[in-house]
Structure 1
């Protein structure tokens, strides 16, 4: 079982962001907690369960044992991890209360 952080560094609001994903939701939430991220930062999305992490948090996640994955070099591995993340979506409509 593993936690992964991609190299999809996207610029948003003047900062660079990547995605933290894992083989299980338990591992994902545990790593996020170790990074000091609140549970409300969890992205329960149809596109894949994940946390958005800043460049600094990405570096911290790697120091804590997350595995770096590259959307450029490790395409098959990234696709497999995204399939797992998609399967972790709760199925709830984000707009539902």
Structure 2
């Protein structure tokens, strides 16, 4: 498993931005936490799941072990994570949520 960061340098709000992806969503979110990124910054509904990172964060990611990702590697990871995300969204709700809503105390009828 690995983390990848591209070098696209998209200009937005006076800064340059890149994309952070991984071989899996779990690995991506774990590495993002290590970088100090908030989960709310995750681009779940973009054309592919990723985090946008500044050039400065890109450099930190590379120092922490991320790999420079070429376009084909970024796209390959993106497709795999998108498929993983679709599978996760199709899974039933975790049991603790079902138990919560089945509790008579929360019956809204």
> Post-superposition shift, 1:89?
3.9
Q: Which has the higher contact order (CA 8 A, sep 6+)?
A: 1
Number of aligned residue pairs: 88
For residues 18 and 89 of structure 1, the distance between their equivalents in structure 2, rounded to whole angstroms, comes to 21
What secondary structure is seen at the aligned counterpart in 2 of 1:18?
strand
For residues 12 and 46 of structure 1, the distance between their equivalents in structure 2, rounded to whole angstroms, comes to 16
- The match for 1:86 among 64, 70, 82 is 82
For residues 16 and 42 of structure 2, the distance between their equivalents in structure 1, rounded to whole angstroms, comes to 17
Cα displacement string for residues 12-70 of structure 1 (whole angstroms, at most 9, x for unaligned residues): 01100000001111110111101111111111025111100000000000011111013
Which residue pairs with 2:30 in the alignment?
Answer: 30
Distance 1:29 1:70, change over 3 A: same
Higher strand residue share: 1
Q: Is the 8 A contact 1:5 1:21 kept in 2?
A: yes
RMSD of aligned residue pairs (Cα, Å): 1.8
For residues 51 and 34 of structure 1, the distance between their equivalents in structure 2, rounded to whole angstroms, comes to 13
Please say which structure displays the higher CA radius of gyration.
Answer: 2
Q: Hey, which bits of structure 1, 4+ residues long, moved more than 4 A?
A: none
- Structure 1: runs of 5+ lacking an equivalent: 93-97
Higher helix residue share: 2
TM-score (norm 2): 0.72
What secondary structure is seen at the aligned counterpart in 2 of 1:11?
strand
Which residue pairs with 2:69 in the alignment?
Answer: 69
